[in-house]
Amino acid sequence: MRVTGRRYIIIIFVIGALALSACGAEISRSQNANMVDSVTLTNKGSDTIVNLALAWAEAYHVTYPNISVSVTGGGSGTGIAAMINGTVDIANASRKMKEKEVANAKENGFVPVEYVIARDGIAVIVNPQNPINRLTLQQLSDIFSGKITNWVDVGGENRPIVCLSREVNSGTHVYFLESVVRMGNKNDETFFSPSTLLLPSSEGITSEISHNPNAIGYDGLGYVTDAVKTVAVSPSDDGLYIIPTIKTVIDNTYPISRSLYMYLPEEATGYTKDYIDWIYSEEAQSIVEELGFVPVN
Amino acid sequence: MTKLVNRKMTFNTKYRQLLEFVVEAIIRISGYSAVVFVGLIFLFLMQESLPTFGEIQARDLWSQRWYPIENYFGVLPLLSGSLIITLGAALIAIPFGLMTAIFIAEIAPLWLREILKPLVEILGGVPSVVLGFLGITVLAPLVREELYLPTGLTAFTGAVLLAGMAIPTIVSVAEDALDAVPKAYRDAALALGATRWQTIWRVTLPAARSGVLTATMLGIGRAIGETMTVMMVTGNAPQMVSGLGSLFISLRTMTATIAAEMGEVANGSLHYHVLFSIGLILFLISLTVNIAASAVLFRARKRTERLLS
């Protein structure tokens, strides 16, 4: 008898819980109905841009409280693939879309439009204890392709060189391969040396370089911290060595700098278009500068 | 009153029969479901990975360069990387884990045992990303400085951390197996004049053999499938392994490759199918390991039966 009694209590509990949860669902639905204007834009892609995109999203939400922009990283390729598959509204990319990707988008029924939203310099970074202060583009190419393996050969201490790179799905990786390892030569088949460490995040690179005096790596100017040292780079053997700064990236004298992009379907209108237009405003572009990138206008 | 009780009884009997039937059915379905799931996973992996072989030759896969963004899909560096890191982890974890299990089960006094066993199990519950973080900030610099290596992000660092993850599994399962050996075995051995060590090595451990082997397999299984930790500390450089010395360079594993690259690939591309082929290879490896373990156990049991009959 006691057992049966307990069972009834349990049943009553379950029914009660169900009823309560039904009420809960009812309440949240009516809340949604009250806020018809609340819109969420999705924005995904390059890890280089993710902090900038987040800062923009926050500032935009302050000005337009009914619109929130959800930002995720994952790499340029990831963001572009998501836009092609229609799962995000805007893709962030630190490289131009490949022809194949544009073709894929057209297959899915839309034409992607490109917006240059900021400029970025790729800083070459070493451990602060490393006496090396400057390198030519040719030396960098030899180091990262494995032709030079000791710091002595570029005028440093007798230490092995450990090259660090972002993972292959990072736009920064592709950009560095094309513009530094292959020095802009499209027919060049040079690769990163197989012993190059591929780290999944900017933080991983900064952390290893700040601990390891053998290491050399690269990262967006916006991610360089005081724990590492930036190296001045010369485009040719007899040229000037240029330190990456906002000024040298704007006037394009620093050889490893590039544009950052947002891509969205041509048909996109309304909230998405308003957001892109706002990004070119003075307010948004001043945020670019705060984060160590370079504004476009 | 009696009538009421009687009616209640028949109701209860019927109700119980129904309950019995339902519970039995649920248990039976759960039992079969494992087989069904393994079969479905295998079919899915086959379906997603087979298109690889329509687009590239098997010898392209069986080559030494992995650079997927330019269509180099040699899986040998990844395969050998996974194998040697797992081997390194096993070399550290098996002796260490078994010794810990023997200490807890056979040697430690009861009060110490009550403390050690739960602690080891808590160690097993530490999330792999936490271990990976410790690896980057503490273990990697230590490995670089103490072993005079160019970098601390090496296969060895990964193997040590993986061993740390496999040990709790090995200890926990092996300790249970040792604990299940009847006390009479030990008493008999000691009565015959065997020392404590002889009893452990010649009697208790062989008697718990199947459990100890299971513990080892589970530990290795944990090591070969682990992703997050190895991705954080092994440096992920797709280099070929050339002997045990390769433990001290950076290597890339199959699991880390899938985890790092799956997010980026376009559905249905060649790269996507190759990543699934790597998943299939991983699946086949763990299947082989399990089948081998079962075969060894089965043969051992056969022998015992023959000896006893």
Chain B residues within 8 A of A85 when measuring between CB atoms: 267
| A211 and A251 fall within a common domain | yes
Tell which wins on pLDDT, A124 or A110: A124
Residue B308 has pLDDT above 70, yes or no: no
Separation in Å, CA A147 to CA A16, A150, A219, B150: 72, 9, 22, 17
Q: Distance between CA atoms of B219 and B89, rounded to whole angstroms?
A: 9
Write the pLDDT tens digit of every residue in B42-59. 999 999 999 988 888 878
Tell which wins on pLDDT, A294 or A278: A278
| A160 and A228 fall within a common domain | yes
Q: How confident is the model at residue A108, as a pLDDT?
A: 87
Average pLDDT of chain B? 89
- Which of B65, B70, B141 faces A211 most closely, judged by CB atoms? B141
| A96 and A212 fall within a common domain | no
Q: Which runs of consecutive H residues, i.e. helices, occur in A35-96?
A: 50-63, 76-84
| A250 and A176 fall within a common domain | yes
- Stretch among A12-21, B62-71, B128-137, B181-190 having the lowest mean pLDDT: A12-21
Write the pLDDT tens digit of every residue in A132-157. 999 999 999 999 999 999 999 999 99
Residue B240 amino acid letter: M
**Nearest chain A Cα distance for residue B151, angstroms:** 7
Q: Is A150 on the interface with B (CB under 8 A)?
A: no
Residue A233 has pLDDT above 80, yes or no: yes
Average pLDDT over residues B269-285: 92
Q: Distance between CA atoms of B223 and B245, rounded to whole angstroms?
A: 20
| A150 and A211 fall within a common domain | yes
In a domain, A87, yes or no: yes
Residue A31 has pLDDT above 70, yes or no: no
Q: Is A19 on the interface with B (CB under 8 A)?
A: no
Average pLDDT over residues A97-120: 90
% of chain B with per-residue pLDDT over 70: 95
Q: Distance between CA atoms of B232 and B240, rounded to whole angstroms?
A: 19
In a domain, A209, yes or no: yes
**Nearest chain B Cα distance for residue A220, angstroms:** 20
Residue B215 has pLDDT above 70, yes or no: yes
| A164 and A246 fall within a common domain | yes
Strands A215-220 and A112-126, bridge-based pairing: antiparallel
Tell which wins on pLDDT, B199 or B300: B199
Which residues, in sequence order, are CB contacts of A156 under 8 Å at separation 6+? A130, A131, A132
| A135 and A241 fall within a common domain | yes
% of chain B with per-residue pLDDT over 90: 66
Q: How confident is the model at residue B69, as a pLDDT?
A: 83
How buried is A42 (Cβ within 10 angstroms: 0-12 exposed, 13-18 middle, 19+ buried)?
A: middle
Q: Distance between CA atoms of A176 and A144, rounded to whole angstroms?
A: 10
Q: Distance between CA atoms of A43 and A227, rounded to whole angstroms?
A: 31
In a domain, A20, yes or no: no
Residue B250 has pLDDT above 90, yes or no: yes
Average pLDDT over residues B134-152: 92
- Which of B136, B237, B250 faces A207 most closely, judged by CB atoms? B136
Q: How confident is the model at residue A5, as a pLDDT?
A: 52
Q: How confident is the model at residue B256, as a pLDDT?
A: 94
- Which of A104, A174, A196 faces B237 most closely, judged by CB atoms? A196
Strands A39-45 and A90-93, bridge-based pairing: parallel
Angle (CA) A176 A178 A183, round 5°: 95
Question: A86: alpha, beta or left, given left = phi > 0 and alpha = psi -120 to 50?
Answer: left
* CA proximity to A195, closest of A174, A221, A214: A214
Which site among A7, A157, A167, A173 would you substitute to test the B interface, given the most B Cβ atoms closer than 10 Å to its Cβ?
Answer: A167
Q: Distance between CA atoms of A81 and A45, rounded to whole angstroms?
A: 9
pLDDT confidence bin for B237, thresholds 50/70/90: very high
Average pLDDT over residues B176-202: 93
Residues A173, A93 contacting (CB under 8 angstroms):
no
Separation in Å, CA A67 to CA A270, B89, B308: 12, 50, 77
* CA proximity to B74, closest of A12, A191, A177: A191
Q: Distance between CA atoms of B190 and A147, rounded to whole angstroms?
A: 66
- Tell me whether residues B264 and A104 touch, CB distance under 8 A: no
Q: How confident is the model at residue B287, as a pLDDT?
A: 87
| A65 and A162 fall within a common domain | no
Q: Is B260 on the interface with A (CB under 8 A)?
A: yes
- Which of B141, B236, B266 faces A198 most closely, judged by CB atoms? B236
Q: How confident is the model at residue A26, as a pLDDT?
A: 41
Q: Distance between CA atoms of B207 and B185, rounded to whole angstroms?
A: 9
pLDDT confidence bin for B286, thresholds 50/70/90: confident
Residues B45, B279 contacting (CB under 8 angstroms):
yes
- Tell me whether residues B237 and A81 touch, CB distance under 8 A: no
* CA proximity to A261, closest of A36, A25, A49, A8: A49
Average pLDDT over residues A225-248: 89
Q: Closest chain B residue to A190 measured between Cα atoms?
A: B70
Judge if pTM exceeds 0.80. Answer: no
**ipTM confidence score:** 0.81
Tell which wins on pLDDT, A210 or B13: A210
**Domain range annotation of chain B:** 2-49, 58-308
Q: Is A98 on the interface with B (CB under 8 A)?
A: no
Q: Is B152 on the interface with A (CB under 8 A)?
A: yes
Beta bridge partners of B67: B72
Q: Closest chain B residue to A212 measured between Cα atoms?
A: B151
pLDDT confidence bin for A44, thresholds 50/70/90: very high
Q: How confident is the model at residue A14, as a pLDDT?
A: 52
Residue B300 amino acid letter: A
**Nearest chain A Cα distance for residue B177, angstroms:** 38
| A140 and A215 fall within a common domain | yes
The total of other beta-carbon atoms located within 10 Å of residue B6's CB is 10
Q: Distance between CA atoms of A39 and A147, rounded to whole angstroms?
A: 53
Q: Is A146 on the interface with B (CB under 8 A)?
A: no
Q: How confident is the model at residue A170, as a pLDDT?
A: 75
Chain B residues within 8 A of A194 when measuring between CB atoms: 65, 77, 237-240
Number of H-type helices and E-type strands within chain B: 15, 2
Q: Is A162 on the interface with B (CB under 8 A)?
A: yes
In a domain, A177, yes or no: yes
Q: Closest chain B residue to A208 measured between Cα atoms?
A: B136
- Tell me whether residues A199 and B236 touch, CB distance under 8 A: yes
- Tell me whether residues A195 and B237 touch, CB distance under 8 A: yes
| A251 and A210 fall within a common domain | yes
Average pLDDT over residues B74-99: 95
- Tell me whether residues B260 and A104 touch, CB distance under 8 A: no
Which residues, in sequence order, are CB contacts of A10 under 8 Å at separation 6+? none
DSSP SS3 for A219: strand
Q: Is B4 on the interface with A (CB under 8 A)?
A: no
Residue A33 has pLDDT above 90, yes or no: no
| A48 and A65 fall within a common domain | yes
In a domain, A157, yes or no: yes
Average pLDDT of chain A? 84
| A181 and A113 fall within a common domain | no
Which residues, in sequence order, are CB contacts of B78 under 8 Å at separation 6+? B66, B238, B252, B253, B254, B257, B278
Q: How confident is the model at residue A15, as a pLDDT?
A: 54
Strands B72-73 and B66-67, bridge-based pairing: antiparallel
In a domain, A28, yes or no: no
What CATH number is associated with residue A153? Answer: 3.40.190.10
Which residue has tokens 């884990």? B97
DSSP SS3 for A153: helix
Residues A181, A168 contacting (CB under 8 angstroms):
no
Strands A257-265 and A112-126, bridge-based pairing: antiparallel
Which site among B67, B149, B236 would you substitute to test the A interface, given the most A Cβ atoms closer than 10 Å to its Cβ?
Answer: B236
Residue A4 has pLDDT above 60, yes or no: no
Please give the residue range of the domain that contains residue A49. 39-119+259-290
pLDDT confidence bin for A24, thresholds 50/70/90: very low
Q: Distance between CA atoms of B222 and B213, rounded to whole angstroms?
A: 14
- The correct CATH number of B58-308 out of 1.10.287.1080, 2.130.10.10, 1.10.10.10, 1.10.3720.10 is 1.10.3720.10
Q: How confident is the model at residue A236, as a pLDDT?
A: 85
Chain B residues within 8 A of A211 when measuring between CB atoms: 140-141, 144, 152
Tell which wins on pLDDT, B297 or B276: B276
- Which of A75, A197, A207 faces B235 most closely, judged by CB atoms? A197
